[in-house]
Structure formats: C-alpha cells, structure tokens
Structure 1
C-alpha cells in the first residue's frame, strides 16, 4: 500500500460544517504496509524481495519507484481491476486530522500467479515474512507456509483478523496486544496471559509467539520459556508502522544468524526508535547498533 501525507496549517473552521480547513503546503509519499516491512529490512542492509499485488494505476507506479529507491527488489503483480491501496493522512502541526483509505481486493487470477512467483523466489530466501493486512493479498497463505516449511525456511507472520488457524505451522507469529486479545480473550494477570499465549502457540504448532504490548514492551513465548523485553522508547511520537519495523528487524536478525532472543531484543530497540519518528519510517544501522556492539 502507499502512504500519502498531506502537510499543512489550520487557521480557521469551515463555514460549511464544523470542521477545520487545512491549507496543504507539501505532500510526502512513502511505501506502506508490506512495502514498509520490506524497506525496514532493506534499510538494515538485507537483500529483500517484495512479492505483492498493486493496481495498474498511478499509485502502483509510485510504489514501484519508491521501492527501487529504497533498494527493495519488488515483484509487483499489476491487477487492472484493483485500485492500489492508499492511506491518505492530513497532518497539521504534527497532528493527524484525518485518514482516507482507498482499497479493493485483488482478483483470483493475479493471486494465483503471485503464488507461482513465491515458489520461484523461495529457494533464494533465508527468511520468509508474511505481513497480513486483511486486504486479500494472502489468500494462499496456508500454502505459502506449507511450501516454506517443506524446505526449512523460517516463516514470520504479522497476523490480522480472528482466524489464526490459517497461520498454522509458521515459525513465529507477532500479534500486537489488541490483536492477541481479540483471538485469545482478555486476561487479568501475567500468569493468565502466559497460559493463553502458550495455549495458542501449541494449538497452531508455532515455534514461538511474540506479543507486542505497546508501552509494556514485548513478550516472547516459547516451549517452556517466557522472555519479556520492556519498552525501549525514549519518546513516543507516532506508533504507525511500528509493527512493520519489529517484524522486518526480526527477519533481518534471524537471516544474519542471530538467535531468537537476540533478534527480539534488537527488534524491541528498533521499535523504540521508530515510534519517535513521524509516519511510517525506518531505522538505520547506526541508530540501532553502538560502534563497538557485537550483536551476534
């Protein structure tokens, strides 16, 4: 999807309705959704292929150009029946006033051809990241997980919705606190949260489950083990895209040979940095690592 930002100033209320009038002064465009995950991984030095679906329209062409500039090798299937997903945000004085979404689901034919490209690219990958935004692009996610698992590729999934059975057999699932609550139910204690998380992990056959918990940090659940990383944010400015940064960083660290606890620690640090930036943003290696830090 394409993230568009209209920046301006508000100095009056409309005479037509009790709403502010914003005078647009500049426009910015950034890759969003799965494209933001890809650009986050590329910013950390990874070689990234992004396989996705866009419309045969101006926004799709903009996305392709932006991704090339970010060093992402994009394999974008153009669907003439599809409008490329756009999230348009109007911002005044660093505050979001309004968001407008444009989206339509992709066709079955385009999704089938995307699956064939997934099979072709899979042998070249060290890690597979599947970012589900509920827009229809991961209709074949069960098959994709099955194909990756068959050749020993770790599969990281950022989930959406309440049907987690479709993620069965993935290596790691990264729901945020609200997403996990919608699937597992609420909890009144840390012990109850752990029980629910471990139960879901076992039901889905996951190696691990990572619940990102906003100001509470993030918690990793594995067989017989719980690891909690407190929040590492010095200043929270904008949380949009923080989940993209987390899973993108996790993928890069695991592909580089880090163990899962180390990958989670670095991803938590990356999330703390990116929420201090406006809009969907990336974290650079010099922001993430100290000059003498031995990550691996």
Structure 2
C-alpha cells in the first residue's frame, strides 16, 4: 500500500448529512445481584458521551486530517446541547437544526467490567419543517465541499434523500451513501452505496456463491446508476463492484472487540481517500485498514491519521 496521502487529505472538505445521535456510556463494576429482581447492580464509576451516527462519521473524517461540516437535526434538550459541545471540541463545523418537538436521538449503554449489560434508546422523527431546512442548508453548502456523505440510520433525517442526491448531482459533487432498509431505489443517482452484508441480503436476497453475489451486485449498481457499490462483509472483508469488475480485500482485524460505529469509520475513510484523489480500489484498501483498527476499540471510536499511516 502507498504511503498515507496526508497532504491531499488535508485539503479535503466533506459535507456530512444524516441522522445525528449521542452515544452515552455508563461504566461501572458489578459485584452483586439486586435483591429487588434477578439483575446485576452496576455501581457507576465513569460516564462518557461520544458522537454517534452521522456525527461519528464527521468525527472520523476530522480525525484523519480532513475537514467536515455536519448537517442534521437535534432537539432543544440536554443531549442536543451535548452534541453541539462535542462537535465544537472535535473541530467539526456545525449546521444543525434545532427541532423543539424532537428528543435528540440518544443511545445510553450501561457496562459492567467492559461488558454491555443494557442499552436504552430515545428517538423521534424530525418534523417536516426541519427536513426542509436540511435541504436548504445542504443546497447552500454544496459548492464549498468536495464530497457529500449521507449517513442513513433510518431516524428520519434522510426521509427525502432523493432530493438531496439530486441537488448534489446538479452541482457535480460525488455522493457516498450508507444505506438503510431494502428500498434502495431511494439512493438512485448516488456515486456509491456501502451496504453491509445483512443490508445487501435484505436488498437482493441471499446468494449461494461469489458469482451470484457479483451478478446481483452489478445488476443493482447499474439499475441505480451508481459508479460503484461496496459490500462490507465483516470477517469476510469488503467487496467493491464497479465497471472495472470485482475487487475484494480480506478483513485485517487482529481482534474484534466492539463493532459499534465501524461502518461510520469505513464510510468516513472511503470518502476522505476518494476526495483526496485515490481510485476506488485504493480508497477501499484504506477503509478496510481503518475498519480493522476501530473494531479493536471499545464503543463508538475513531481512527486517526497516525494510526492509519
């Protein structure tokens, strides 16, 4: 693999649009069972908040040495204010919409001895008025960014993703999409989509062998008008499908500790490397390396330029 292209990466400016969430971790020790119910009692010793969803994609982009602007919707609540504070700490430009009727998407995890015991989710759908503002903000910022990343976690921010893709295409800005669900016609016209193995199976059905996967992937790519399609396959690595054919790379993870946010890291690295001028297969190699590093970390994490180099 060629050396890390730091000079080119430093010039990259990525616009990230999608579902923003706050990942909240409560770490503690477990040494007894509750007398009230057969559940462990966690004595909380440490609390930590991290950016999640589209915000984690932006965080990974900045960690690699590029610049990122984030568009999304948060509530006028404690979690929303924490998201804004963390974004400022990371040096991420913000174009957030405050939706007073919305509870900021929050995933609260309770861990005992590094093992996740419970996760509690708070989530609501943004209002139509907020989605109109997402479109307006993206339209305004497109001309100053070299790449658009759409991070879809099915929380509602990308409910009108077709309009966002059309706007980016009109200005000639490449669009990378991390999809959700099985209705992939929503993403027609994007430059590339990056489904994981389960999402790809949901969209095209189960395949019996690599030839069948290649046939279905290329058919989907052509049907949607994509330049490329990347299937992330966990321990099986990643497979890129483009006009040039199939390019597969094996997984590089030495030890899988936590896959939380790994897709965000892969997406961010792919976007940065592609915007830095690398061909798809080289960008995928770097993304695969980044994914192999981040799954060895606990919780929603990032990979720095130093680690990747």
Could you say what secondary structure the match of 1:280 adopts? coil
1:81 and 2:118 are equivalent in the alignment: no
Give the CA deviation at 1:196.
1.2
Gaps of 5+ in 1: 290-296
Greater CA drift, 256-265 or 266-275 = 256-265
- The Cα offsets for residues 249-276 of structure 1, whole Å up to 9 and x where unpaired, read as 1111111111111110000000000001
Instruction: Report what 1:176 is aligned to.
Output: 196
RMSD of the TM alignment (CA)? 0.8
Instruction: Report what 1:249 is aligned to.
Output: 269
Gaps of 5+ in 2: 1-20
Could you say what secondary structure the match of 2:150 adopts? strand
Give the CA deviation at 1:106.
0.6
Instruction: Report what 2:42 is aligned to.
Output: 22
Instruction: Report what 2:54 is aligned to.
Output: 34
State how many pairs are aligned: 289
Instruction: Report what 2:217 is aligned to.
Output: 197
Instruction: Report what 2:133 is aligned to.
Output: 113
Instruction: Report what 1:292 is aligned to.
Output: none
Picking from 73, 86, 89, the partner of 1:53 is 73
- The Cα offsets for residues 192-248 of structure 1, whole Å up to 9 and x where unpaired, read as 111111111111111110000000000000124100010011111100100000000
Picking from 163, 179, 204, the partner of 1:143 is 163
Q: Distance in 2 between matches of 1:18 and 1:194?
A: 49
Give the CA deviation at 1:163.
1.0
Higher relative CO (Cα under 8 Å, sequence separation at least 6) belongs to: 2
- Which ranges of 4 or more aligned residues in structure 1 deviate by more than 4 Å? none
Q: Distance in 2 between matches of 1:155 and 1:252?
A: 12
TM-score, normalised with respect to structure 1: 0.96
Instruction: Report what 2:302 is aligned to.
Output: 282
Instruction: Report what 2:178 is aligned to.
Output: 158
